[in-house]
Chain A
Amino acid sequence: MSAQGFTGGPLQVERLPQRKAVNLVMELLAWLTAVIAIAVLGIVVFSVARRGWSELSLNLLTKPPIPFSFTNAPQGLANAFVGTLVIVGIAALMALPFGILVAIYLNEFARPSVRASIGLTIDVLAGVPAIVIGIFIYGLLVAGGGGQSGIKGALALAILMLPFVARTTIEVLALVPNSLREASLGLGIPQWRTTLSIVLPRAIGGILTGTVLAVARVAGETAPLLFTSSLVGAHTSWNPTHALLTVPLAIFELSESPDPKDHARAWAAAFVLLMFILLASLTARWLANRSARKIAGR
């Protein structure tokens, strides 16, 4: 690896001004790209905030929508917010134990070859488009008389969450020092007890982080619910055996409406959703920093 490889010619001091100029241009371009990225994020968030702020009110969260309203009676998206709470909650309850168990198996019990192949499968599952998972659950459970329901929607979301939860749990379990396990086993504590009472609690911070991130991602998903929980009425329901409206789906439908009042409600709902997701991401990041420092730094 000679110096010529870098400059395409001998490192000539005489050509230094040109080389420095090229360098400067490239550095400026790099700065520019960073500015563009921040600008884009800023524009999107600012757009949502500015347009959503005016329509933001308690009504949005507490009043159900009134379709085809010819009056100015207060309406909101209460059914969507409740539906999101219920469906995402159930999805998390499904994905969390599943993901933790998978991670425990891969990290505590599995041979390296098994670990490799199942690890690959998890990564493959993470790459399946959300809409394909929606069609999958539809074909499996909804079509042919099954009917839509919040639980089926939650199942689709849980499949989306699973790879995230599994991945972060595996990484966090791997961070727990082996010496701890060996000490525990050496004391005669059975492996299952070791795993559940000693290893897992040390990893709980990371697991929580992974779950919060997964919840944040899945709270904004529309495609899987399009086929599993979209035929809904206007009143608020907590019942997951019926199809429930979710906030992203509500935004999707309102966004294609011609009525500016619908657009206003879409912006407001988008603002609330965005704030929730950003807050959750920041919380997860904070949690991750704390637990990483705790495990590694001590």
Chain B
Amino acid sequence: MASIDTTSTEPIRRPFEGRRVHLGDVLLQGFAGAAAVGVVVIVGLIVWKLVDSADPAISKYGVGFVWHKVWNPVVGREAYGAASFLFGTAITSFFALLIATPLAIGIALFLTELAPRGIQAPVTALVEMLAAVPSVVIGLWGILVLGPALRTNIESWLHSAFGFIPLFGPPSASGASIFTAIIVLSIMILPIVSSISRELFLGVPHELKEGALALGTTRWEMVRGVMFPYARGGIAAALILGLGRAMGEAIAVTQVIGGGVFIHWSLFGQGDTLASKIASEYQGATSNLEVASLIYLGLILLMLSLVANLTAQWIVRRVERRHGVVRGGRA
């Protein structure tokens, strides 16, 4: 369900020649058309409003905002920049994707190739239920259960065993850290990537799979040689969609990430992402420039999400064309 099927070449259902055009037709088409235009208007309005509200910061900093590392709200020394939050977004999303991808693909393969008939449906439902858990609930669990557990068990062990790697600095004080945020994000994007991958694997033509197996390959060799190449594009799109989700998550991240304006390599320190910074600072922003800078962060986030989303959509449409897939099944 990643995109709307637009490949149908059905004849258009317009009134045929000589028919009377009823007032009702005009009205329905008018209202429905207005609604459709309304969607476009909303997207345009969102972009416009963000640019408009961020204007004080845009005109002051320009594009350089993106690599300013400072965020100083002190009156008289005000200076804002997005670099440290872009770093936070990049690190958390990258590692979350790194953790979630093998798990998601593994689950998708399990559900399409290995699961006995009886447990396929329940397990699929369970994985999709994970997607239904609200982010604030995962964040609550993250603050009160996961964070402290990670701190006492994993962070201290990793630091003492591998502390020479800059990634594993001193464990966080309270469990709130970039590492906790990464785990939380992996949990949140796992269902998306896995359900799209599962649909992709289900769509691999039987003949290709059976053919390979008939040639004597093991199941894993068939997966590696047939399914992965076939589904490669779609999986890339799934990953990008998962990335977009991870970048945009504000609430669960702000609950567990600790908050800070630091660029450092240790995963166990605090930080902020674009989204989590907006969530934590917006209500308390004091000056106009600070509010505008926060909205500028939102604009950058919007641009990144749009790029990710459009890229994924483009990949999906290209892959569908290549495979000649018609989804949606018009009767």
Contact = CB atoms under 8 A, between A and B. Distances in A.
Nearest to B142: A255
A140 interface: yes
Interface stretch (A64-72, A85-93, A99-107): A99-107
Contacts of A192: 22, 24-25, 27-29
B325 interface: no
Size bracket of the A interface? 35 or more
A248 B136 contact: yes
A220 B135 contact: yes
Contacts of B298: 131-132, 135
Contacts of B22: 190-192
A56 interface: no
Interface string B90-107: 000000000000111111
Given A11-B215, A132-B301, A191 B133 contact: no
Contacts of B29: 105, 109, 192
B302 A273 contact: no
Listed residue (A129, A170, A226) with the most chain B CB atoms within 10 angstroms of its CB:
A129
B43 A6 contact: no
B137 A273 contact: yes
B111 interface: yes
B50 A7 contact: no
Contact of B32 (A105, A123, A178, A219): A105
Contacts of A185: 13, 15
Interface string A220-243: 111100110010000000000000
Given A30-B110, A101-B32, A274-B134, A129 B275 contact: yes
A149 interface: no
Listed residue (A34, A179, A226) with the most chain B CB atoms within 10 angstroms of its CB:
A34
A27 to B, nearest CB: 6
Given A112-B9, A216-B132, A125 B32 contact: no
A143 B285 CA distance: 13
Contacts of A133: 46
Given A41-B127, A135-B282, A220-B136, A124 B309 contact: yes
Interface string A174-214: 11111101000100001111011000000000000000000
A208 B205 CA distance: 32
Interface in A248-295: 248-249, 251-252, 255-256, 263, 266-267, 270, 273-274, 277-278, 281-282, 285
B323 interface: no
A74 interface: no
Contacts of A274: 133-134, 137
B153 interface: no
Size bracket of the B interface? 35 or more
A23 interface: yes
B218 A132 contact: no
Interface stretch (B71-79, B80-88, B246-254, B262-270): B246-254
Listed residue (A109, A267, A273) with the most chain B CB atoms within 10 angstroms of its CB:
A109
Interface string B114-156: 1100000001011111101111111111011100000000000
Given A131-B251, A252-B136, 10 more contacts: A6-B226, A19-B218, A40-B187, A44-B187, A129-B247, A135-B278, A140-B45, A175-B331, A220-B133, A266-B140
6 contacts: A37-B130, A124-B310, A128-B46, A192-B29, A223-B279, A252-B255
Interface of B: 1-6, 8-10, 12-15, 22, 24-25, 27-29, 31-36, 38-40, 42-43, 45-46, 49-50, 52-53, 102-107, 109-111, 113-115, 123, 125-130, 132-141, 143-145, 187, 190, 194, 212, 215-226, 241, 244, 247-251, 255, 275, 278-279, 282-283, 295, 298, 301-302, 305-306, 308-310, 313, 328-331
Closest 10 CB pairs of A and B: A220-B134, A129-B248, A33-B106, A6-B225, A127-B309, A105-B32, A119-B4, A101-B35, A192-B24, A23-B218
